[in-house]
Amino acid sequence: MQTDEIFFSTLTNSLSYGRRSAASFFTDRPVDYQLYPRNGEGVAQVPVTGYTSDTPLAEIELYRENQLAGVYSVKNHKRKGKNNFSVTIPIKAEPANYHFYYRFKGDTVRYTLARNVVAGDVFVIAGQSNSVASGNSVRKEECNPFFRTLGTIRKNETYLPGDTLWGIANSHGCSYGKPFFNGYSAHLLHSLVLEQQGVPSAIINMGVGGSTIEQNLPDKDHSLDPGTIYGSGLYRIRKAGLQQAVTSVIWLQGESNQSRGYHTYQENFHTLLQAWKRDFPNLQHIYMSQINTGCGESETASLLREEQRQIAMKYPELKMISNVDLPLRPDDCHYTREAHDTLWNRFYRLLAEDHYNVPGTWLTSPNILKVFYGDPGQTTLILEFDQPVVCPVEEGKEYLSQLFLDENKDPLRTERIEQAKDDPCRIILTLSSPATITHLTYGPDGFVKNDAGDPVRYGGPWIRNQNHIPALTFHRFEVTKE
């Protein structure tokens, strides 16, 4: 006998047995498909609290799958005229479901408290369409019982307050508003955590397609406003009881700010970051992408990417990777399935280093430190990065000459691009003729002209690090004479 009208509400979950004329009322208990965050020992503590109308002895049976894993006595203690009880039950973070049953001692009848409860890790994803990857649906049989979420992503409508059920996360098609829709991006992160760490995960995806950073900000007077993107996501996290467990946020956004709001992007991101820190007290890590070229970008697109590059240098808790090498779908905006696979493997390696103590080197994108002339005659430019880089090679690609732009955004006439022999962090550009370059831009705004003069998408090559992660693009970086 069990009711579940409102998640974790007081007095709505009661069990009774007529012969004893006793009833138990639960103020906190697990619910079906819930994930509890694990502690440093790989165990989650599941609280069961409430009070009884009488003083019967009771117990909770814990099953791991179909095997009895423990029996826990429920002891009452008088407080303010009530027979209160409280018991904490440990479960291991592993790909196994735990089931909780309640019974009065001596009775043959038992009552189901919750089934398919797990312990594991918690992550938050936010941003616009590529943070959801709603168009990259997976087959139904690829859903895994250890991928969990609460509620669903809603796009344009106010979040439903009653949508507070836990369930198995799915990524079927463009399914905003469908039960437990979590996106293909979350599916990939779930998969990597389970495959590599052997634990279930809960992901709350706050991403909404087409949204600007302004639309992702909390309402300054009511951060829980369910009619906002931020408020609906925070509502789900609170109802899931995961606020204290959020230590990482992955942010994938920017395409919608390429022609509007790029000049205030840093300021808005700071506002968003402060809201995350306020609402997720244990937040430690932010993972972010510098967006790919494309998605209807304008002449100010490189300015937006430069704003993101500046953010990468401003916050020590933030790690950034560039997406410029990821293949796009025919709409010239959204990533292919292969692109998402690459992207989330890169994100996971950052997570693994920070959360799972998996050692790694050069997991973020190289960032430019300085650009200067290498000779008095001004025929060579030296680019110095913050980590070893690999020089792009022509290899039959006709567009390499359009990779660098001068202060007028004209392609830089280069004769040769090569690695510096004495410093792996440097690349040397040999100019076709002496030139006075005051500012250098790396990365064209999506389209360049081919030999016939027709616009084509610039698809590389790119400067990369030793792990093949592309360098961050930069806009109008000052050239010095060292």
Q: Can you give the pLDDT at residue 404?
A: 92
The contacts found for 168-174 with CB under 8 angstroms, 24 or more apart, are 168/33, 168/143, 168/144, 169/143, 169/203, 170/140, 170/143, 171/133, 171/134, 171/136, 171/137, 171/138, 172/137, 172/138, 172/140, 173/134, 173/135, 173/137, 174/134, 174/135, 174/137
CA–CA distances in Å: residue 261 to residues 55, 238, 286, 352, 402: 63, 30, 22, 33, 27
Q: Can you give the pLDDT at residue 400?
A: 73
Q: Can you give the pLDDT at residue 395?
A: 52
* pTM, rounded to two decimals: 0.93
The radius of gyration of the chain from alpha carbons, rounded to an integer in Å, stands at 27
- The first and second tokens of residue 2, run together, are 């069990």
Q: Can you give the pLDDT at residue 414?
A: 87
CA diameter of the chain: 100
Give 4's contacts (C-beta < 8 A, 6+ positions apart).
Answer: 12, 13, 31, 32, 165
Q: 10 Å Cβ neighbour count for 456?
A: 14
State residue 405 phi and psi, 5-degree precision: -125, 150
Which residue's entry shows tokens 């950034």? 320
Please choose, from the candidates 93, 99, 125, the residue with its C-alpha nearest in 3D space to the C-alpha of residue 200: 93
Which residue's entry shows tokens 């799958």? 65
**Residues 344, 123: Cα–Cα separation, whole Å:** 13
Q: Can you give the pLDDT at residue 141?
A: 56
**Residues 369, 313: Cα–Cα separation, whole Å:** 11
Helix (H) or strand (E) holding 270: helix 265-279
**Residues 164, 280: Cα–Cα separation, whole Å:** 19
Q: 10 Å Cβ neighbour count for 20?
A: 14
- Residue 68's identity, in one-letter code, is L
Give the DSSP letter of residue 216.
G
Q: Can you give the pLDDT at residue 330?
A: 85
Give the total residue count for the chain: 482
Please choose, from the candidates 97, 121, 119, 147, the residue with its C-alpha nearest in 3D space to the C-alpha of residue 43: 119
Q: Can you give the pLDDT at residue 17?
A: 43
Instruction: Give the dihedral sign, CA 430/432/436/437.
Output: negative
3-state secondary structure at position 44: strand
HSE-up of 30 (CA within 13 Å, CB side)?
32
Please choose, from the candidates 172, 178, 193, 18, the residue with its C-alpha nearest in 3D space to the C-alpha of residue 122: 193
Local mean pLDDT, 10-residue blocks, the chain (482 residues): 31 47 84 97 96 82 97 85 90 98 87 97 96 70 89 90 94 82 93 98 96 97 95 97 98 94 96 98 98 81 95 97 92 90 97 96 98 96 97 65 88 89 95 95 81 77 95 97 79
Q: Can you give the pLDDT at residue 370?
A: 97
Q: 10 Å Cβ neighbour count for 238?
A: 14
